[in-house]
Each structure stands twice: as structure tokens, then as C-alpha cells.
Chains A and B, each alone.
Chain A
Amino acid sequence: MTVSRRRVLGMTGAGVALAGAGVAAGVGIDRFGQDAPARAATDLVGFHGEHQAGIVTPTQENLHFAALDVTTKDRAKLVKLLRTWTDAARRMTAGQEVTPGGAVSGAAAAPPGDTGEALDLPASSLTLTIGFGPSLFDGRFGLAGKRPAALVDLPVFPKDKLDPARSGGDLCIQACANDPQVAVHAVRNLVRLGFGVTEVRWSQLGFGRSSSTSRTQVTPRNLFGFKDGTNNVKAEDDGLLRDQVWARAEDGQPWMAGGSYLVARRIRMHIETWDRETLQGQEQIIGRTKGTGAPLGQAKEFDQVDLHVRGEGGVPTVAEDAHIRLASSETLNGAKILRRGYNFVDGSDGVGHLEAGLFFIAFNRDPRKQFIPMQNALSSKDAMMEYVQHTGSAIFAVPPGVREGGYWGDGLF
């Protein structure tokens, strides 16, 4: 991957402001040493705030996403782990080791408290975001009455080919950072802290953020070569975030106020056959031009999509089965979602093709009114379905942000 072709975030400051409290005063940067505190300070995303970081934070370059199952039946152990995780997340997102001096300054006869591969690396805008899956509310921990109505089990969508080993989970951790090593280090250390209480069910690495979540960012391209996320809900759209992303107390579960619902879908792309599709064919399937990203019938990327334009012979300029028409809020009664997906290439598939695709992540206030109708429309009508296959699926209730001294999910427990 060439970094030079991507523009490094211009305004990480926006992320800090959005993520709430920003950098806590007096936090020492002990992992990154003495030489570049200025540089380290600019790539910190605050951990505390009304909402969890990692949702409207300008999308970082890399992802490590892990879904975990809880292996204990002891509620107290789970709560204790959530506290431990929160403390570790506070430190790691601030560019510190899991425990002070944990990597190389601990007892020589004990295993190090920090795995060490992020030593000397800055925080790299690391955010850690936690979510709770429907299965956590099954009665093992007395949470059955706390399950939000919006946390539905996702239906089976047409053409799904889900692998159970890549689906579901009691919990999820989304780690995003501008350095893959930092994201992996964070997940690895949280998983390590969880042994005996949680185990990894599945995980996914992603690169080359395939959505932008802020107007400060250039729209990146997915592995089909198209700009992805032009019309995404952005951090600057206060009204949209309020109506379409953040859950409210009156939605049913007061503990979810300020939280959101995360839908993850692992979407395998048949890139080999896609690459044999003509340029015009590709553009008609998506509904945008490949170069500028302009909607068909318009001139520039951010021109408003107009679904009511017809070309010669009265044929719709954006085809009836074009991806952007079916995903458009106009055809979905105004519903939108905040996308935060990443590209992936997980080696190859054993029959000569790259195991490539898009790891789709979306945040929405009520999947029943937003993601599910949207995906039903896409799975049944989208011309793009010829080239993609959904192989993994999960949904999580993402609790609100953490207060100073609080822990992940304290409102639930």
C-alpha cells in the first residue's frame, strides 16, 4: 500500500474536539519517549465524552475488529474485565503502555504486562470502541430485561452466504488507528486481559478506510476502484447524527442514550469478474463516474444525486438497479446510516483468487428502520450483488461514551 497517494488527515483536531474531552491534562506520554511530544499530541483522540470515540472520529487508515464470546457465567468477573479493559483503553489511546513500564520495565521473572510491539510508536489516533451483541442479553448475566428493542437479530438477507465462524459475538472491540501495528497491539492486549472471561470468536483486519466520516477528509476508494462514502453521514452533520446515529433514552433503554447500533458485514468482492466489466458497466452498476465520483447526470463528486433525471429515450440516468439509487435516503423514506468500512485482502481463496472485499461497518440509531430496509433493498435488487457476497454478519449495541472514572457499559451493569 502506498501511503503517498493518500492525504494524511488535515485536521485531526476536529476529531479531538468531537470525541469529547480531548486529551486529559497531565497525561504523560511514556510509550513514545521524550523526543517528539508535539507530534504525539496531535494524533491523540480523547477517550472520554458523551459518545464513544471511533464513531464520528475522522476515519483512521486501519482497522482491527474483534468479536468475542463471554466464557464465564460470573457477572462480577465480566464487570471487572470491563473495568480493566477501560483502564487499558484509556492508557493505550493516550499512547501509553497497558501498564506503566509494562513492556520492558517489569519483573524479569514475570511475563511483560504489555506485549511491546507498540513501543516507540505514537498513539496514531487510536480509538477503541466497544459493543454488546444480542447474545449477551440471553439471561446469563441478568441482562434480559435490558436488551434494547432495536438490537434485533439481523434477518437472513437474500443471497447471504454467511459463515457462522465469521458472524455474531457477545461483545465487539473496534480498534482504529493510523498505524496497523497500533490497532493490532490494542486488540491483542485486550484479548490477553480477557482470557478466562472472554475468547475471540472472529476478527478482521482492514486497511484503506473506505468511507470518510468528516468533511475534512478526501473520499477514499474501495477495491472496486470507486469513491465510497461521498454521501455518508459526516461528523459535521449535527442534525443527522442526532436523528439517525445516536440512540436516545426515549427510544426504550435509558442506558443506551448517546450510544448507537453497529452493524458489521464482511462483504467478499468478486474482484476478478468485476475487473472484466466494462468501464461504462461499472459506472452504471454503482451510479457514479469512476474518475470524479460524480453521480451520473451530474458534474462533480458532491453534486446532489438526482434520481429523477432521464437520458435519451427517457431511460433513467441512474439506473433502477444502480447501487446509489437503492441505497439512497430518498428511496428509503429518509433513512441514512453512518458508514465506517474498510477494505480487506485476507490472503487468497485456494482457487486462484484474492480473498478480497469490504468490511462494512455502519452506525445507526435503529437498524429496524435504517440498515435492515436498506440491505433488503440492496440484496434483492442491487446490480452490484452479482459481484459481492456477504460472508459475515454481526450487530452490536454500542453504549454511550465513558465518563472520567467510569467504565465501558457502566450504565448497563
Chain B
Amino acid sequence: MSRIPLVLAGVGLLAAVAACDGQKQDTAGAAGGPIAVEAADDACKVSATTANAGTVTFEIANKGTKVTEFYLYAEGDRIMGEVENIAPGLNRRLIVEVPEAGKYQTACKPGMVGTGIRGDFAVTGGAQRQSDANAKLAEATKGYAAYIANQTTALVEQTQKFVDAVKARNVDDAKSRYANTRVYYERIEPVAEKFGDLDPQIDAREADVESGQRFTGFHRLEKDLWVSGLQSDSGQIADKLMTDVRTLVEKSKTLQLSAVDLANGAKGLLDEVATRKITGEEETFSHTDLSDFQANVDGSKAAIAALRPVVQERDPALLTTLDKEFANVDGLLAKQRQGDVFKLYTALSQEQIKEFASAVDSLGEPLSKVAEVVSK
């Protein structure tokens, strides 16, 4: 995050601050109104040291000469909420959700350094800590983790073979391996997207690349293989792809996914299909979109399979619908196979594309309801 001192942030902010003058800040949340905090260079006066569980609002006024921060900590210095960068003379607000009763601490940090000027803060009432020892959910995430491990192992192996073919400048071999290598990536795309910077380096389409940034990854090699011919730096790009894929796979091992993550991932894969594959935008040089399409659907199905026992228990009708719609999409895809490869996307008629779009919408809609079912 950019840390521009407020005074330098220019017109926008000055105007904003001016706009706050004379506007009475009203009470937010708690019945007693906001808790006033007077922060100074050597003091942190909090007007109330207890609150009921729920939404707690602090109104911090920096009366000191240093830029300050205000924190609410739970035990063990776990941050419940904080507001940074409070310039001298400013009023800022912090609204914190504190669901559980217990001992907390407030802190002002003049100069934004150190452990701050602490004060005890007690929260009463409130909810019992939820026991989320739902064995079925834990089982689901474990099962999906095994699927991810399986796919990433194959991804590394296949990427290596693809990269070797590119570096040996064996164009035909590389082209024949391209779509099948991407399958393993497309199946786990929601996991890949958790690592913000890696996904674009591996999978950005040419149109996504920012000016001044290098076009790298699968689609750069796709363009070389199908359109512009191998370039002098294709080998370098291939090496980088291999390195990025390995990094991604290493990182994915540490990923802690929740059941809701699985459900959102399953839905996200279908969104991918709806906005990228149905339009033929993903594989714009090789037109191997249908192979990606199938992989997205496979990945989505795997996530739902892991959640199956939970959904079966909580909303069996939804599961029946999902099974039917998955089968429908798979059936349409199967029609476009020729042996072990898919037809090129450009070979599809507008009528067939519309049929796919409709099937994807019919599946995407019930898929979007799974997250709520597993988060109950």
C-alpha cells in the first residue's frame, strides 16, 4: 500500500477533510455511540474501557504532533482491527466486529512504531466460540487437497515435456503437447489465482498484458508456435514458465483451503468458461479452447465431489441438479471430441456455441448456491 502522508495527498483529500468539517459524525453501531480516543505523542485516552460484544466503534482524534495508529488487539496481540496513518489534527474512525467476550487491549502508536501505548479493554456478553469441528467439512477439504496435489504433480511433468520440446525447437511436438499440458493448469485455476502475480505470468492472454510488461507464459509460447514462429527468446520464456509453474506448485502445498473456498472455486471455474472460453478468447492462436473448457468443468466437478457428502446431507435436491447439469455439459463436450482431441473452437457453429453458453448458465446458477450450503 502506498503510504503517502496525508498532507501531500493533494486536492482530493484536502477537499474531503474540509467536507467533514461541520458534518456531525453520528453514532455508528453501538448504542452508547462511538468510544472517543484521544491520541497524543505520549498518551492514549480511551473514553470507555468496556463494551458489549458486537460492533464496537472508536473515534480517534490525534491531538499529538506525530502521525499515529490505533489498534484493538485480542489476546496474544491478534489484530482485531486497526486504523493507520492518522495525521496530527485528524479524526478517524474504526468500526470493529468483536463477536466474543474476553480481554482485549487498545493501543495508540505515535510515530507508527513500537508496541504502542496499551490499555486494557473488556468485552462482555456475545456469542460462544463456534466449534467448527465439522468432520465432514474437514474431510472435504482434505480430499480436495489430494486432488490438487495429484494435478500439480502432473502439471510439473507435462510442462517439463512441453518446455523441452519448445527448447529443442521441435514445433510439431510442442504443439501436440500444448493443450494437454494446459489441462492440468486449467483444472486448478482457482488455486493458481490465489497467487496474484504468478497467474498472469503463467497464463495471461496477450490482451491482458500491461504496457511496459513482458508477454510471458503459455499464451506467449502459443503465439510463437501457431502464429509468429519460435523467437530468439522462446527458450528463455519456456524456462521462465517452468520456473513459475514450479514456484506455483510449491506454494500450493501450503495453501489452506476452506469448504467455502472449494465452493467458490467450483463456481469460479464456470465463470471462466462463461466469460473466456465461450468467447474463444482464451486460446486465440491455437483455438484449443474446448480442451480448457473441459478442464475447467473437470476442476469444478472435483471440488463438488469433495463437498458431496456435505451437500448431500444439507441440500440433496441441489446435488441432484448439479449432477444433471454437469452431465449435460459433459455430454455436449463429448460430442465435439475427435478421438483424443477436441475440435478447434473455430469449427463450432454459432448454434453450438449458444448451446454451450446455455448449458454453462444452467450449471453456473446452481453452482453459485453451494457456498452458502457448506458455510451454514
Residues of A bordering B, CB below 8 Å: 155-156, 158-161, 237, 239-240, 243-244, 270, 272-273, 275-278, 281, 297-300, 303-304, 306-314, 316-317, 320, 328-336, 350-353, 376, 379-380, 386-387, 389
B9 x A330 contact (CB < 8 A): yes
User: In whole angstroms, what is the CA distance A317 to B281 when docked?
Assistant: 34
B106 CB within 8 Å of chain A:
no
CB distance from A278 to the nearest CB of B (A): 6
Interface 9-residue window, one of B122-130, B132-140, B174-182, B360-368: B360-368
A336 x B12 contact (CB < 8 A): yes
Given contacts A306-B83, A312-B80, A350 and B350 within 8 Å (CB-CB): yes
B364 x A334 contact (CB < 8 A): no
B13 x A334 contact (CB < 8 A): yes
A308 x B84 contact (CB < 8 A): yes
Specify which chain B residues have a CB less than 8 angstroms from the CB of A297 in the assembled complex.
93-95
Q: Which of B149-164 contact A (CB under 8 A)?
A: none
Q: Contact partner of A331 among B2, B210, B361, CB < 8 A?
A: B2
Given contacts A270-B275, A304-B20, A309-B94, A330 and B13 within 8 Å (CB-CB): yes
Closest A residue by C-beta to B79: A314
CB distance from B130 to the nearest CB of A (A): 15
B53 CB within 8 Å of chain A:
no
B10 x A333 contact (CB < 8 A): yes
Specify which chain A residues have a CB less than 8 angstroms from the CB of B86 in the assembled complex.
308
B4 CB within 8 Å of chain A:
yes
User: In whole angstroms, what is the CA distance A352 to B79 when docked?
Assistant: 47
Specify which chain B residues have a CB less than 8 angstroms from the CB of A300 in the assembled complex.
26, 28
B353 CB within 8 Å of chain A:
yes
B13 x A155 contact (CB < 8 A): no
User: In whole angstroms, what is the CA distance A331 to B17 when docked?
Assistant: 16
A351 x B10 contact (CB < 8 A): no
B92 CB within 8 Å of chain A:
yes
Specify which chain A residues have a CB less than 8 angstroms from the CB of B211 in the assembled complex.
155-156, 158, 376
Q: Given A272-B274, A297-B94, A309-B81, 6 more contacts at CB 8 Å?
A: A277-B368, A297-B93, A304-B19, A308-B86, A310-B81, A376-B210
A329 x B210 contact (CB < 8 A): no
B231 CB within 8 Å of chain A:
no
Specify which chain B residues have a CB less than 8 angstroms from the CB of A243 in the assembled complex.
11
Specify which chain B residues have a CB less than 8 angstroms from the CB of A156 in the assembled complex.
211
Specify which chain B residues have a CB less than 8 angstroms from the CB of A379 in the assembled complex.
210
User: In whole angstroms, what is the CA distance A298 to B361 when docked?
Assistant: 36
B36 CB within 8 Å of chain A:
no
A310 x B209 contact (CB < 8 A): no
CB distance from B307 to the nearest CB of A (A): 16
B207 x A158 contact (CB < 8 A): yes
B274 x A312 contact (CB < 8 A): no
CB distance from B285 to the nearest CB of A (A): 16
Interface size on B, residues (CB 8 A): 56
B358 CB within 8 Å of chain A:
yes
CB distance from B365 to the nearest CB of A (A): 7
Specify which chain B residues have a CB less than 8 angstroms from the CB of A317 in the assembled complex.
81
A158 x B81 contact (CB < 8 A): no
User: In whole angstroms, what is the CA distance A286 to B28 when docked?
Assistant: 21
Specify which chain B residues have a CB less than 8 angstroms from the CB of A331 in the assembled complex.
2
User: In whole angstroms, what is the CA distance A409 to B19 when docked?
Assistant: 36
CB distance from A180 to the nearest CB of B (A): 30
Q: Contact partner of B15 among A237, A270, A387, CB < 8 A?
A: A237
Q: Which of B167-189 contact A (CB under 8 A)?
A: none
B96 CB within 8 Å of chain A:
yes
User: In whole angstroms, what is the CA distance A160 to B81 when docked?
Assistant: 37
A309 x B82 contact (CB < 8 A): yes
Specify which chain A residues have a CB less than 8 angstroms from the CB of B96 in the assembled complex.
311
Given contacts A308-B85, A311-B96, A299 and B29 within 8 Å (CB-CB): yes
Query: Interface of chain A, helix or strand or loop or mixed?
Result: loop
A-B contacts, 5 of them at CB < 8 A, read A155-B211, A299-B29, A332-B12, A351-B354, A386-B271
B12 x A335 contact (CB < 8 A): yes
Closest B residue by C-beta to A272: B361
- Interface code B345-376, partner A: CB below 8 Å = 1, 0 otherwise? 00000100110011001001101100110000
CB distance from A358 to the nearest CB of B (A): 16
Closest B residue by C-beta to A316: B1
Q: Contact partner of A329 among B2, B10, B26, B368, CB < 8 A?
A: B10
B278 CB within 8 Å of chain A:
yes
Q: Contact partner of A270 among B92, B210, B274, B371, CB < 8 A?
A: B274
A158 x B79 contact (CB < 8 A): no
B368 x A276 contact (CB < 8 A): yes
User: In whole angstroms, what is the CA distance A316 to B2 when docked?
Assistant: 13
CB distance from B289 to the nearest CB of A (A): 14
User: In whole angstroms, what is the CA distance A352 to B13 when docked?
Assistant: 44
User: In whole angstroms, what is the CA distance A254 to B97 when docked?
Assistant: 55
Specify which chain B residues have a CB less than 8 angstroms from the CB of A240 in the assembled complex.
11, 15
Specify which chain A residues have a CB less than 8 angstroms from the CB of B4 in the assembled complex.
330, 333
Specify which chain B residues have a CB less than 8 angstroms from the CB of A312 in the assembled complex.
78-81, 97
Closest B residue by C-beta to A158: B210
Specify which chain A residues have a CB less than 8 angstroms from the CB of B79 in the assembled complex.
310, 312-314
B267 CB within 8 Å of chain A:
yes
B81 x A273 contact (CB < 8 A): no
User: In whole angstroms, what is the CA distance A161 to B280 when docked?
Assistant: 13
Given contacts A155-B211, A240-B15, A273-B364, A308 and B83 within 8 Å (CB-CB): yes
User: In whole angstroms, what is the CA distance A243 to B267 when docked?
Assistant: 45
Closest A residue by C-beta to B375: A278
B208 CB within 8 Å of chain A:
yes
Closest A residue by C-beta to B92: A306
Specify which chain B residues have a CB less than 8 angstroms from the CB of A334 in the assembled complex.
9-13
Q: Which of B201-219 contact A (CB under 8 A)?
A: 207-211
User: In whole angstroms, what is the CA distance A333 to B10 when docked?
Assistant: 6
B317 CB within 8 Å of chain A:
no
User: In whole angstroms, what is the CA distance A155 to B80 when docked?
Assistant: 43
Q: Which of B260-292 contact A (CB under 8 A)?
A: 264, 267, 271, 274-275, 278, 281
B207 x A160 contact (CB < 8 A): yes
CB distance from B70 to the nearest CB of A (A): 10
B357 x A351 contact (CB < 8 A): yes
Q: Contact partner of A273 among B17, B26, B271, CB < 8 A?
A: B271
B278 x A351 contact (CB < 8 A): yes
Given contacts A158-B210, A351-B354, A276 and B271 within 8 Å (CB-CB): yes
User: In whole angstroms, what is the CA distance A155 to B364 when docked?
Assistant: 35
Specify which chain A residues have a CB less than 8 angstroms from the CB of B16 in the assembled complex.
304
User: In whole angstroms, what is the CA distance A243 to B10 when docked?
Assistant: 11
Closest B residue by C-beta to A312: B80
User: In whole angstroms, what is the CA distance A297 to B95 when docked?
Assistant: 6
Specify which chain A residues have a CB less than 8 angstroms from the CB of B95 in the assembled complex.
297-299, 309
Specify which chain A residues have a CB less than 8 angstroms from the CB of B210 in the assembled complex.
158, 376, 379-380
User: In whole angstroms, what is the CA distance A328 to B9 when docked?
Assistant: 11
A311 x B275 contact (CB < 8 A): no
B267 x A276 contact (CB < 8 A): yes
B371 x A278 contact (CB < 8 A): yes
Given contacts A276-B367, A351-B353, A310 and B83 within 8 Å (CB-CB): yes
